[in-house]
Every structure is written in structure tokens, then in C-alpha cells.
Structure 1
């Protein structure tokens, strides 16, 4: 017997800006994590990984034109961090606001000297709860900055490829590295959908074998998670399309060839999400139909039983009125009263008549197919 699936829909509460807040206001959530900064310096021949405590003088650390750089920032609880981007790196405050307000949909924007992009990283955490986190990118000519809300992610495969120098990841510069990270995020969507697909198969087996309320509730949770993913995949596809159409010199034509593949993955994901959402809806409808049919079967059995006993109750009710033919005290004959009340073997005859009526009804219902 299969066990019930235990998973949740983890809904994150975002703090929205007050109406009238100045555009470009950098919001630091008190519950956010302290930043961990990792600097990857890589070329076709070598790679160096350094942990940084601050981004001060980051321009001097990334000035070697023979290297490309990836500055990975995990945790956003630092005013100094964003002051460096605003004052030293001249990043627009609207971009920094979008980084700190971690509820934005995927998008791609071009600025003077750099590109800005947002992706949504979906992962299954504890209890198979869906975690939806924002990953932001600032791409310059030779430096890629990434911003994450938490320390955990699904990007280890890209880090390993970068350290081992496999493929084009060290050759394509920051544009290809940004694509590789986005593609890894999109590929993680397939893992999530595959897990949900297995869950739905198990739910469908339970639905056909022993449907109960938990099947409907868990299917509804899957459907709700699919709607959350749909809200991510559609703008992710639009973002990939914007990157393909950009004239920015920071995105090479070779990188755009790989972006086309990521775009195709987004289209495939959209098809999978829509198909699974329809299956979830049909499973809920099937559950309601099964319950309705079960109720109809119960009502049919009760109707048959009632139909059999109604004439029997009618007969028992008539002979339970006790209107005697003769007054037992005075001996006076009562006209038009029950002559059968004192008839010999009347009890047996009445039972036989009732049994005959019940048997005739059972044969009639059987021929009508009510017992199938």
C-alpha cells in the first residue's frame, strides 16, 4: 500500500514598499543573511577562488584583462555592500532596489556599460516544500556579479565545470557564464517537475484504488505549485527572448546560440506545466466523480431496501390497527371491521404474503439490473 505524499506549498511573505516610496530605495530586510562573497578569477589556463570580506577596491581586484571574474554574493544584509555598487561601480539605484526587493519576475535590462537580469530559482526543500528564490545578475565586460538570498542553491554543477575547465565556460567570458547559470536554474525546473510527475502518478494510483480526501488535498497542492511555476516559466521564456534580441556587445553571437537552447527548454517547460496542470484538474474532477458515483451506489442500495420494505410496512401497519370484528368484552359484532384478525393461521399467511411481495420486488430489480 502506497504511503500518502507529504509535501507543502511554502508561500513566502514579501515586504512591499509603502505607497509613495522614493524610486531606487534600497531595502535591507532585517531577517536576511549576512553576505558571503566569493571571487572566481578564471582564464583558459587557470582559476583562482578567493573568499572576500568586503567589496571595497573590487575594481582593482578585477582589472586584469586576461581574466574573467565571477563575484558570487550570497546574503543581502549589508548596506555597505550596496553602497559600493552605487558609489564605486556606478550601478543605478533602480537596479539595486530590484536586487533587494526579492519578489520580481524574471527579466533582462540593458544599461550603459552593463546588463541586468533576474531569474527565479525553484528548489524542493524540506518536506518537499517549493522554495522560490530570486537570483540577480549584473554583467559587465569582464565581471559577472550574482546575488542570492540564501546560501543554498542548485548551481554546484556550474561551479564544478568552472573549476575543472570543461566545455566553453572559461572561454565564453561573463556572457557565457551568465547563460550557464541561467540554464542551470532552468534545468532545475525539470527536476522539480519530474518529482511532481512521480507524485501525481502515485496520487492517481491511490485515486483508483482507495480514494479519500487526502488525495484531493494533495492534488490541489500540486496544482497550486504548478501555478507558481507557471508564473516563473512564462517570464523566463520572455527574458531569454529579450537576450536573443539584444544588441548589447556583452552578449556574443556564440553565446546567443546557446541561449536559443535555453529558450527551447523554457517552451518545453511551459508545455509540461500546462499538461500537468490539466492532469491535476482532471484528477480532482475524477475524485469528485468517484465520490459522487459512490454516493449514488449507496443511495441506490438504500432505495432498493426502502422499496422492498415500503409495501411490507404498509401491510404491517394495516394489521397493527387492531380493529376487531367482535368486541371481546360484550361480544357485540362490529360491522366493517377486520374479519382476519382472529382467522386461524393469519399470522403465517401474512408473513407468506409479505415474503412473496418482497421476492417479486427482488426479481423485478434484478431483471432491471439494479444489483449489478
Structure 2
């Protein structure tokens, strides 16, 4: 047997999941980010128009500098965050230093800004880890400029943009026919749609816990309820601000946004409202489930107390009768009667039986 299997239980905070609470609430966005810079970056560039699309991958950001004046729409996706690379590409595309700070930041609240001719969106992509049953986040920064979109991702191994890449390779896709703001819409739309997949996974966990609470409530059930409530906090913290982000884009009067694209952003807004309402429903369900757990525990306690009270009542006649005939007096009725002992024992049995009948008739058990 591996000793590590049991040694992990010596760390009580890990056993009860308090380390997750620390991750959720010990966040200070005003503190300088302690980001570990990526060892390598991958710069993927899609240059496209209605007629053709060119895909290239590089390991330096300098190859993207020509996209500013190539008279085509460019999507520059950078996987891996390094301060020098972010500053270099942002300075070339004339992105404000405040936005550079936001790109390099960690644990920022999702938001949208318009600064000096560019539209900036910062939000999180969500993933559900089936092994740990937790919601994982990855910050993504998107910069919309004149005929270009630059996206900065932290993790080079995963994202949700594969459907967009497939559509870019299709000549009749709307992305190829429209301007850069439609690409921004497509990215926000697929990020929001992925929220529903994460909530679907959480919904499965909620169903399992609900069944467990109804069938057999124990401390493990309470721990699972607490864990899911923490994951719902992560979900709400990332979904609620995106509602304001999309609403800000809809209300924006930026020249970068085509009037024809506004209705598409309204569709994203409807989706994020629905996702927010669903997260609220999950939170209400977990609150109700916690109340159900407490009620089940109280019910079990009441059942135990009722059984103990009935047993005590049934033993009371035998205690009284035994106490009376056990007194040290010289003259006790039937003390020398050969049937006295059997009469006392019979009385000790008959009285509890009669009491059981009375209790049953009154519906006490």
C-alpha cells in the first residue's frame, strides 16, 4: 500500500477543500502580477478576405508587424504571455499602455474599454476539469482595431476557437465576408456558448449530489454541496461582468463596429443573460439542497430521540415495579407467595405491551 494515499489526509485544509476558498477570495487585482512568463510563444496569424485566407505560425511577434498595412483582415492569436512580446506588438499597433497593463494583469474582472481608436475586451474562457470537478479559468484579452484583431491567451494547449478556425477556411462563411468586428463577435459568441457546456457539467454534479442527499445524507454530501457552491461562485464571477461587457459593445458608437454587426452582439447578450439566470438557478438549488440536508439531519435526530424516548417509557414500568418489590421492608405484599415473582415479571411485560398499543393507536410511531 502506498503511504501517500493516507498521508494526504494529514493536511486537514486539503481534506475539507479550504484551499479552494483561498483561491477564490485571496485575490488582489491592484497588486503587481506575479505572472510566470511563458517559455515559448506561438503566434498564429490568419490573413483573410472574401477570396482567400493565409495561415502562418511563428515563434516571434515581429512577423505580425506587417499585418497593420496589408489591406486585409488579420487575426493575430498569441499563445503564451511574455511582457517583452506584449509590449512590442502593442507598441507597434499603437495600443495604449493602460491596455498593456490589463493584458499583463491576472485575476482581472471582465471588462470592455475604448481607448485611442481600439476596442479592448478582457474576459475568461471557462473549462470544467472532470478529474478535480472544478471550474478552471483562462484569461483572454482581445484587441479590435482597424482591420485587425489581436488575442492574447495564457495557455497554448487549449482554447475554444477551433470552430472559428474551421469557418475561416470556408470561402462562403460570414466571417470571410464581413469586417473585423464580426470576428470579434464570433470569438465572444463561442466563449459565451462554452459557458453553457461548463454549466451542463456542473448541472450533472448538482443532480448527483441531490440524489445523494435524498437517499443518504452524510458529511460527505455536505462537503460536495460546499464544493459545488464554490464552483458556482467562480461561474457567477465570470459570467455576470460579461453581461456588462457585451452591453457596452452594443451601446458603443465606435467606428470599428459596423451597424450590421450590432444585432449579432445582441444575440450574444441574450445568451449571456440566459447563462446568468441559469447560474442563479443553480445557486438557488444548492441553497435549497443545503436546507434539505439540514432538514434530513434534524429528521434523523428526531427519529433517534423518538426511539430512545419510547424505549425509556417502555422500561419505566419494569423499573418502578422492580424498585417497589426490591425495597428492604419486612412486610411486602406477596413476598412469600410462590407466584409473586412470576406475577411481577408478567406485570412488567403486560404494562409495556399495553403502552405500545396505546402509542400505536395514537399514531406516535
Say yes or no: TM over 0.5: yes
Residue 143 of structure 1 is matched in structure 2 by 148
- Give 2:96's aligned residue: 92
User: Does structure 2 conserve the Cα–Cα contact (< 8 Å) formed by 1:138 and 1:145?
Assistant: yes
Whether 2:320 is the aligned partner of 1:314: answer yes
**Are residue 107 (structure 1) and residue 107 (structure 2) matched?**
no
1:38 Cα offset (Å): 0.7
Query: How far 1:300 moved relative to its partner?
Result: 0.6
Question: Could you tell me which of 174, 198, 220 is aligned with 1:214?
Answer: 220
The answer for the alignment partner of 2:64 in structure 1 is 58
| Separation in structure 2 between the aligned mates of residue 103 and residue 162 of structure 1, nearest angstrom | 31
RMSD: 2.1
Partner Cα separation in structure 1 for residue 265 and residue 332 of structure 2: 97
Cα distance 1:317–1:284, how it changes in 2: closer, same or farther (>3 A)?
A: same
Find the partner of 1:44 among 50, 56, 67.
50
Q: Tell me what 2:139 maps to.
A: 134
How many pairs does the alignment contain? Answer: 343
Residue ranges of structure 2 left out of the alignment (5+ in a row) = 1-16
1:253 aligns with 2:259: yes
Q: Is the 8 A contact 1:102 1:133 kept in 2?
A: no
- Is 2:66 aligned against 1:72? no
Of residues 241, 246, 249 in structure 2, which corresponds to 1:243?
249
- Decide whether the 8 Å contact of 2:140 with 2:151 is kept in 1: yes
Query: Taking structure 1 as reference, are residues 204 and 230 closer, same or farther at Cα in structure 2, changes over 3 Å only?
Result: same
TM-score normalised to structure 1 length = 0.86
Asked if 1:125 is matched to 2:119, the reply is no
8 Å CA contact 1:324–1:339 kept in 2: the answer is no
1:162 matched residue in structure 2 = 168
Alignment match, 1:333: none
Report the equivalent of 2:9: none
* Cα-to-partner distance string for 1:118-139 (whole Å, 9 max, x where unaligned): 1211111251321111110111
Q: Could you say which structure has the larger radius of gyration?
A: 1
Change (3 A) 1:163 1:125: farther
CA distance, structure 2, for counterparts of residue 184 and residue 346 of structure 1: 89
Separation in structure 1 between the aligned mates of residue 324 and residue 34 of structure 2, nearest angstrom:
85
Alignment correspondent of 2:280: 274
Measure how far apart 1:205 and its partner are: 2.0
